[in-house]
Structure 1
């Protein structure tokens, strides 16, 4: 059993993570960040949940860049092949569930 208070979590670098669980073929990580994460495309599905803070999620839809501001409790789903990047507004804590081996 494990209890994690996400609002108290701090990492030693931007996008540093604590592994919460390893589900067969998936990982669950709590990330701390104060810096953007680069444009990327996952080779599997990704669930991105803002636990604390605010994150501007940039993504491409029909060839156009879109931006949505995610608040604490909001969830973003990226399907395999969806280009996206996250840009926190200050400090944020994010739970990411994705295919094992994804970074």
Structure 2
């Protein structure tokens, strides 16, 4: 089965609403739409966070110190195991997230 997903056309009914794209060997691929920050969290495994549209300021904690970086369309953030992080979109954003199925 093939599909074409046009991320710029996706809008959810609530912040961080998602369109499931694929489940592959325990890994989920989801397209999220949001205009609100998420919550500080640690995933059950690794996470790849790719900004498809918009701008997101990603915050993370490293050795107890909070850091941040601005991510624009085309930028990718990798959160390794145990990385506490939170995404703050600047207006509307569409984000592709690849992570362990069932993760926060």
TM over 0.5: yes
Aligned residue pairs, count: 103
Are positions 1:6 and 2:7 aligned together? yes
RMSD: 0.6
Q: Which residue of 1 aligns with 2:67?
A: 66
Q: Which residue of 1 aligns with 2:23?
A: 22
**Equivalent residues in 2 for 1:1-103 (5 A)?**
1-103=2-104
Superposition TM-score, scaled by structure 1 size = 0.98
What CA distance in whole angstroms lies between the structure 1 residues aligned with 2:81 and 2:43?
A: 6
- Cα shift at 1:76: 0.3
